[in-house]
Amino acid sequence: MDSISRVPLFNKGTCRSPSSASVAHVERTARQPPTAPDRENHHVPPYLLGLRLGGRRVLVVGGGRVAQRRVPALLDAGAAVVLVSPHVTATLEGLAERGRITWHQRPYKRGDCAGAWLVQAVTDDAAVNGDVVAEADAKRIWAVRADDAESSPAWTPASGHAGDATVGVLLGGDPRRAAGIRDAVVEGLRDGALESRHSRRKPAGVALVGGGPGDPGLITVRGRQLLAMADVVVTDRLAPGGLLDELAADVEVIDAAKIPYGRTVTQDRINEYLVEHARAGRFVVRLKGGDPFVFGRGGEEALYCARHGVPVTVVPGITSAVAVPSAAGIPVTHRGVSQEFHVVSAHVPPDHPDSTVDWAGLGRARGTIVLLMAVERMALIAAALMRYGRSSDTPVAVVQDGTLPAQRSLTATLGTVAGAMADAEVRPPAIVVVGDVVTVAREIDMIRADMGRDP
């Protein structure tokens, strides 16, 4: 008991001496060497910690592809990387030649872990990795074993950055799933979907945001970010409705729908909405389909806001004039077929005194014509194009609800398209493409069909 009595476990002047058995237990516990992680507790979740490695020595044993992936991240964190391996990839060799890392061109030997704050065992030799981790454990240095997550004292998370946020995801033994979750979180942070608008500094005034052709996934990253910050969203029937489902419950949504032959809100009233809410200190997003400056009257709204002293941000969108034909397999230009395309708003019919479209020029042109808002006037438009020189056999495609699950297409000729649209009961929104590029989509469909047949 002499050795036990030398341990100062209590103050003799104030505490009663514990039993010899309890003292012996404490002495034994204190003198036990560090042990390997308890395999019985491998289901216990890891403790996440952000290491600030600036200037600290990190040992990497191994010079293959895993090392090549991990070393740049360590360098980004400011670590002083020491690499031990007989051979390395060309990328790692380049880092060594530029003085970014210290490379010891030899196999690992015991003692290499000395002075390291973190060790990465990433060779393709399980025995070597085990020896590296054993030495690190003995020296109480955290180590990551790449080939055996179950026996690794530490794990490297799948990490990513979004602005000033660093995201790390750990799923022991399933790095692919961890990377997938990381990517989803980083994307959500970048587009604003995962961060409360109340926790961010919002822009002032009004943002005119192009929502794209219909599929909510086709809005730009910047557009989605601003939408997530909005206090008020002014929208209409052409804006992607799925984006509204992502808004917080306290966001005010103003429906400024302009439904053909239905209820409508005048453009003047829409302009007033934007200015009224912005002046009240709210951040307003005017969400439009396609691009706000392509037949979206975005220019009028921007001018109105500017004249009333309201700051305006314009976020371009993917215009349906190009995206919808693409979704149907129709290129608006194609080598050897069409070197130009014309985008026309057909809300005013040909020969109407308010029309500013050069229908005679379009009839003579050989390029592609993309018609928006043409459903109700297609018979008049086809007649005008044929009158001014287009052949009645000119291929025509009509794409309704482009990029959405309900997308459908029909093909016809300039001479038959009006009747075909009536028979198919085509309704807005629909894009009409006139020109030989329509045959490219047919050829693609035929090739796909042939490839799907048995030889």
For residue 172, pLDDT over 70 is answered with: no
Average pLDDT in the 263-291 region? Answer: 92
Specify the pLDDT at position 294: 94
Asked if residue 372 and residue 293 are part of one domain, the reply reads no
Q: 195 falls in which pLDDT band (50, 70, 90)? A: low
Q: Which of 112, 137, 231, 236 is catalytic?
A: 236
Instruction: Give 294-344 pLDDT, tens digit per residue.
Output: 998 999 999 999 999 999 999 999 999 999 999 999 999 999 999 999 999
In a domain, 15, yes or no: no
Integer Cα distance of 380 and 355 in angstroms: 13
Please report whether residue 16 resides in a domain. no
Task: Please check whether residues 230 and 305 belong to one and the same domain.
Answer: yes
Q: Of 288, 318, 348, at which residue does a domain stop?
A: 318
Range of the domain at 432: 322-447
Looking at the domain assignment, is residue 27 inside a domain?
Answer: no
pTM: 0.64
Does the pLDDT at position 162 exceed 50? Answer: yes
Q: Indicate the residue among 284, 318, 352 that finishes a domain.
A: 318
> pLDDT: is 72 or 175 the higher one?
72
Claim to verify: residue 302 and residue 248 sit in the same structural domain: yes
pLDDT at 173: 64
Residue 283 predicted with pLDDT over 80: yes
Higher pLDDT, 450 or 306: 306
For residue 212, pLDDT over 80 is answered with yes
Reported as a pLDDT band with limits 50, 70 and 90, residue 130 is very high
Whether 168 and 249 share a structural domain = no
131 is catalytic: no
pLDDT score, position 41 = 54
Q: Are residues 201 and 286 in the same domain?
A: yes
**Can you give the CATH number for the domain in which 370 is found?**
3.30.950.10
Residues 327 and 347 placed together within one structural domain of the fold = yes
> Do residue 347 and residue 440 come from a single domain?
yes
Among 13-17, 130-134, 169-173, 438-442, name the most confident range. Answer: 130-134
Q: Which of 147, 202, 258, 436 is catalytic?
A: 258
Residue 147 belongs to a domain: yes
Q: Do residues 294 and 373 both lie within one domain? A: no
The confidence score (pLDDT) of residue 10 equals: 37
pLDDT band for position 156 (cuts 50, 70, 90): confident
CATH classification at residue 90: 3.40.50.720
Domain total of the chain: 4
- Decide which of 262, 286, 318 is a domain's last residue: 318
21 within domain boundaries: no
Do residues 256 and 168 share a domain?
A: no
33: in domain: no
Same-domain status, 210 and 298:
yes
Q: What percentage of the chain reaches a pLDDT higher than 90?
A: 66
Q: Is-catalytic flag, 164?
A: no
Residue 197: the pLDDT is 58
pLDDT at 30: 45
Kindly report, residue by residue over 334-372, the tens digit of the pLDDT.
999 999 999 999 999 998 999 999 999 999 999 999 999
Q: Tell whether 226 and 304 lie within a shared domain.
A: yes
Verify that 333 and 441 share a domain, yes or no: yes
Q: Residue 112: pLDDT band by 50, 70, 90 thresholds?
A: very high
Residue 38: pLDDT over 60: no
Q: What pLDDT was estimated at residue 259?
A: 52
pLDDT tens, residue by residue, 380-402: 999 999 999 999 999 999 999 99
